[in-house]
Amino acid sequence: MILPKELKEAITHLSSTEKDKLIFRLLKKDLALANRLLFELVSTETVEEKRKKIQKSLVFQIDRSVEQFYSPGYLSMDVRYMSGMITEHVQITKDKFGDPYLNLLNLNGIIPKLNKQLQTYKPIKANKFYVPALARIFKILMNVSKFHEDEQYEFRDELNKLGESIIENQDFMKAAINNGLDINWLLNAEIPENIVEIHKNIRALGLLR
């Protein structure tokens, strides 16, 4: 929403007390903004400390999802919930490194442990997990590509681990091929410079949905 100039000008003429009341009223309706301001203005925790906390929570959720695995569809819902935790953390802390780092932690914590169970399902049902997971992998690759080459190297081992896990599952590998993901990008940690354009073209074909 673009604020009209007249509204901006009117707000600047409010008294400090009126502005404070308005801010507090708005913060009550925008929890995400309130939490971000709490972190930036009040909290003494660093971004790295907050990342370690969310990582601990994710590991608990990952173990729970693995132990209580029911079906590919429900597993995808679990991953979506954990991705929501990561998104909230990033919104609050602006942790650009933590975004791909934590999402890799998420997928690498689940896929190797559940590959055998997932392979017992027919592809049409297993794809309820594979396809959303591939969409998240593209997001990871696009985020990693934004970093300097030296920083990208820090993701190398986890990207390789994820690629190896997909190779071990024939149906997952087929899903990757059918949805335009080149596993070599993971195995070699070599992300194309035009990964965003590649992703856009793949989505335009109706894939990764």
Alpha-carbon distance 97 to 143, whole Å? 9
Tokens of 23: 């801010």
Task: Decide: pTM greater than 0.85.
Answer: yes
Q: What is the pLDDT of residue 9?
A: 83
Rounded Cα gap, residues 198 and 138, in angstroms: 10
**Per-residue confidence in pLDDT tens, the chain, 209 aa:** 677 888 788 888 888 888 888 888 888 888 888 888 888 889 889 999 999 999 999 999 999 999 999 999 999 999 999 999 999 999 999 999 999 999 999 999 999 999 999 999 999 999 999 999 999 999 999 999 999 988 999 999 999 999 999 999 999 999 999 999 999 999 999 999 999 999 999 999 999 98
Distances (CA, A) of 192 to 42, 72, 168, 202: 40, 30, 24, 14
Q: Which among 106, 26, 92 has a CA at the least distance from the CA of 63?
A: 106
Map out the domains of the chain as residue ranges: 17-205
> Can you read off the two tokens belonging to residue 193?
């410079």
Q: What pLDDT is attached to residue 44? A: 87
